[in-house]
């Protein structure tokens, strides 16, 4: 099984082409390549020497999109139109993010459901996939500008703790940005590759990757055997980082100048203090003390004072390292190498504490902001077959998945996965009492199964009768070393099971594979739009069903006006389902939700209080 490099412009086979490595970060993103002459990984830089692109998107009133430094400026002046930290929303539902919703200055749709979050700017709804795609598109364009050549293929990194949905979302974002995503790799894996760890096939190592950025911290323990990386454990705090150090300095200065909460300076002054605090922190990474000229305040801070301020924060990260080791069943002695990632690892106290904890010097010679993307470029080069020293493991040339509601392709094993490979996901029934489920297996990169290649189909029969959504049907895909795919469907409550064996590569030529890949890129925009529309329609249909069921049960508790408004909103939603307008469907879903929410809450409260009646609280 071979990888098929294609030239998107001509559609022809191409042997050597620059494939970029992309670190799609929460705060900053960047692109690296293997330099064609030096064969070394380098980060692409703008004229001003900066490689980092802030992961911020600004939508102006006309709907124009700006990404990067230019968008960052609107964060304070137009928070509702400026999206940051989109990565934190990837693959999440409103339920997952509602506790932190004040953190975001923009509107996240509260649909009170488990559906994936959407962000609303003016009258438009954006998924985190679309938002990430804006960033990736900008990175692609910048890279093309710097390299003076089309950039069409990429390796993108994600945190080790990203689940399937978050990985697929990132892959889709790449596609939407016009990129052929060769592989999604873990950030710690990339960082370790950047240090040359895990490149050789006869290497057996256990490593720790400590990643402290501006707003997030994570630590991963990886085992590497014959160039195959395995994540043994991850730990961290997604709301801990360099920003907290800046805040600690601001607090320290306020205290030092005896300003209490009531006398605190105004918003813009606070902002300038924060900027000075970050400057101080960076200065203290190399100097014993910092002071800034300020007519009113004493802004002196020494490294010793700074260390005392951030000690609790550093201690917390070390506790996370301890927990990660424990989860992996290891001790610090078992770790062969420690890799440092993220701008905040430049702080000497951080470096020293990590080194002391693991009992060895840390790998910190590379720029900690760039290591992840450098490693992604190295992986890209290996996948391109340019690095002849490294053995390429067999991989799947096309993605494998099944058909789900709305005729969508749900990928279980993405293309370019190494074989043997295994993946499983749970599904459920859509109709009450459903006793069988049709499993259709497809191969290809398109979002609608109709555009992909059908490999097989079978029926899982004998599912015991139960209400829709209760059955737990696990579909597992296993590809053995010979490339044979085994698909098994199992209802977990009753253990009924059915399976089938397929040869995915049977009867397909390299040229056909190449055409399928090319089609997936040229049709990416319409594919993602189709998927978003199909998902919106499925969500709308589900909402209509649940609202109907709710009304049947509770009709007596609704006022005539509520009934009338609900009926109208349901009708409008129903009508929107027949039109091909995703934003309209979302708007109608939101309208129906807004109407039903107050009475749904009231009825729930009533039910709760009548259930409480008669129960004595001892």
- Contact footprint for ligand AMP (CB under 6 A): 27-28, 213-214, 241-243, 278, 281-282, 285, 342-344, 346-347, 369
Q: Which is nearer to ligand AMP, 27 or 379 (CB)?
A: 27
Joined together, the tokens standing for residue 62 give 């006309």
Catalytic residue among 23, 138, 491, 590: 23
Q: Which is nearer to ligand AMP, 339 or 584 (CB)?
A: 339
Min. distance of Cβ 221 from ligand AMP in angstroms? 20
Q: Which is nearer to ligand AMP, 27 or 234 (CB)?
A: 27
β partners of residue 156: 22, 184
Helix axes 303-327, 348-358, angle to 10 degrees: 40
Please name the helix (run of DSSP H) or strand (run of DSSP E) that holds residue 453, with its range, or none: strand 453-460
Joined together, the tokens standing for residue 26 give 């929460």
Residue with token string 């007596």 = 556
Q: How far apart are the first and last CA of the chain?
A: 69
Q: Which of 218, 215, 118, 137 is nearest to 179 (CA)?
A: 137
Cβ neighbours of residue 383 closer than 8 Å, sequence gap 6 or more: 3, 19, 155, 182, 183, 392, 416
Catalytic residue among 87, 92, 582, 588: 87
Catalytic residue among 111, 172, 211, 243: 211
Min. distance of Cβ 222 from ligand AMP in angstroms? 19
Q: Which of 343, 246, 333, 335 is nearest to 290 (CA)?
A: 246
Q: How far is CA 159 from the centre of its chain?
A: 8
Going by DSSP bridges, is the β-strand pair 20-24/41-43 parallel, antiparallel, or unpaired?
A: unpaired
Q: How far is CA 169 from the centre of its chain?
A: 7
Tell me how far apart the alpha carbons of residues 352 and 345 are, in angstroms, rounded to a whole number: 10
Tell me how far apart the alpha carbons of residues 482 and 89 are, in angstroms, rounded to a whole number: 38
Min. distance of Cβ 285 from ligand AMP in angstroms? 4
Q: How far is CA 157 from the centre of its chain?
A: 9
Min. distance of Cβ 211 from ligand AMP in angstroms? 8
Q: Which is nearer to ligand AMP, 287 or 594 (CB)?
A: 287
Catalytic residue among 130, 187, 370, 403: 187
Min. distance of Cβ 247 from ligand AMP in angstroms? 11
Q: Is the bond preceding 420 in cis, omega lying within 30 degrees of 0?
A: yes
Q: Which is nearer to ligand AMP, 310 or 517 (CB)?
A: 310
Contact 466, 430 (CB under 8 A): no
Residue with token string 């649940």 = 546
Q: Which is nearer to ligand AMP, 5 or 214 (CB)?
A: 214
β partners of residue 440: 457
Please name the helix (run of DSSP H) or strand (run of DSSP E) that holds residue 30, with its range, or none: strand 28-34
Q: Which is nearer to ligand AMP, 5 or 343 (CB)?
A: 343
Min. distance of Cβ 351 from ligand AMP in angstroms? 10
Whether 187 is catalytic: yes
Min. distance of Cβ 187 from ligand AMP in angstroms? 10
Min. distance of Cβ 319 from ligand AMP in angstroms? 20
Whether 211 is catalytic: yes
Q: Which is nearer to ligand AMP, 56 or 347 (CB)?
A: 347
Complete edge-to-edge strand list for the sheet that includes strand 65-67: 65-67, 57-59, 82-83
Contact 277, 293 (CB under 8 A): no
Residues involved in catalysis = 23, 87, 187, 211
């Amino acid at each position: 099984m071979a990888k098929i490099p294609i030239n998107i412009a001509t559609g022809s086979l191409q042997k050597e082409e620059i494939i970029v490595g992309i670190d799609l970060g929460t705060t900053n993103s960047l692109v690296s390549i293997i330099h064609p002459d030096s064969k070394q990984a380098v980060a692409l830089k703008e004229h001003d020497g900066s490689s980092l692109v802030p992961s911020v998107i600004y939508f102006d009133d006309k709907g124009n999109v700006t990404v990067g430094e230019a968008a960052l400026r609107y964060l304070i002046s137009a928070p509702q139109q400026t999206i940051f930290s989109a990565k934190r929303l990837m693959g999440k539902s409103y339920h997952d993010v509602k506790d932190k919703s004040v953190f975001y200055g923009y509107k996240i749709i509260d649909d009170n459901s488990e559906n994936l979050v959407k962000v609303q700017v003016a009258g438009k709804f954006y998924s985190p996939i679309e938002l990430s795609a804006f960033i990736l598109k900008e990175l692609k364009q910048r890279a093309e500008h710097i390299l003076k050549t089309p950039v069409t293929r990429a390796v993108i990194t994600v945190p080790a703790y990203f689940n399937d949905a978050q990985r697929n979302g990132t892959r889709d974002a790449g596609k939407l940005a016009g990129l052929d995503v060769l592989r999604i790799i873990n950030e710690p894996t990339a960082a370790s590759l950047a240090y040359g760890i895990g490149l050789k096939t006869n290497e057996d190592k256990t490593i720790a990757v400590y990643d402290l950025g501006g707003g997030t911290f994570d630590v991963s323990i990886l085992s590497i055997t014959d160039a195959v990386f395995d994540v043994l454990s991850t730990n961290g705090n997604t709301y801990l980082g360099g920003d907290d150090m800046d805040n600690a300095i601001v607090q320290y200065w306020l205290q030092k100048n005896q300003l209490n909460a009531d006398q605190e300076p105004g918003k813009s002054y606070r902002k300038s203090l924060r900027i000075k605090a970050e400057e101080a922190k960076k200065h203290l990474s190399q100097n014993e003390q910092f002071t800034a000229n300020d007519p009113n305040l004493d802004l002196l801070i020494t490294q010793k004072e700074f260390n005392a301020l951030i000690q609790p924060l550093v201690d917390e990260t070390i506790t996370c390292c301890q927990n990660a080791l424990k989860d992996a069943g290891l001790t610090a002695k078992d770790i062969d190498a420690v890799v440092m990632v993220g701008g905040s690892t430049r702080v000497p106290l951080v470096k020293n504490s990590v080194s002391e904890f693991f009992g060895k010097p840390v790998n910190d010679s590379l720029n900690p902001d760039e290591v992840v993307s450098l490693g992604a470029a190295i992986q890209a080069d290996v996948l391109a077959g340019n690095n002849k020293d490294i053995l390429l493991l067999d991989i799947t040339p096309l993605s494998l998945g099944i058909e789900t509601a709305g005729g969508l392709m749900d990928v279980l094993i993405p293309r370019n996965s190494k074989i043997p490979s295994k993946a499983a996901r749970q599904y459920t029934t859509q109709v009450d009492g459903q006793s069988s489920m049709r499993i259709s297996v497809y191969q290809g990169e398109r979002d609608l199964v109709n555009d992909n290649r059908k490999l097989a189909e079978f029926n899982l029969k004998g599912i015991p009768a139960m209400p829709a959504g209760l059955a737990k049907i696990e579909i597992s895909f296993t590809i053995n070393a010979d490339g044979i795919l085994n698909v098994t469907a199992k209802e977990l409550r009753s253990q009924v099971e059915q399976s089938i064996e397929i040869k995915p590569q049977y009867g397909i030529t390299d040229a056909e594979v190449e055409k399928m890949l090319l089609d997936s890129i040229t049709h990416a925009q319409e594919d993602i739009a189709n998927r978003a529309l199909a998902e919106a329609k499925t969500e709308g249909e589900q909402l209509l069903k649940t609202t109907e069921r709710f009304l049947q049960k509770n009709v007596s508790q609704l006022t005539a006006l509520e009934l009338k408004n609900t009926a109208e909103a349901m009708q409008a939603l129903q009508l929107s389902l027949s039109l091909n307008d995703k934003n309209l469907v979302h708007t109608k879903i939101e309208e129906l939700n807004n109407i039903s929410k107050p009475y749904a809450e009231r009825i729930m409260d009533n039910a709760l209080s009548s259930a409480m009646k008669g129960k004595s609280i001892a």
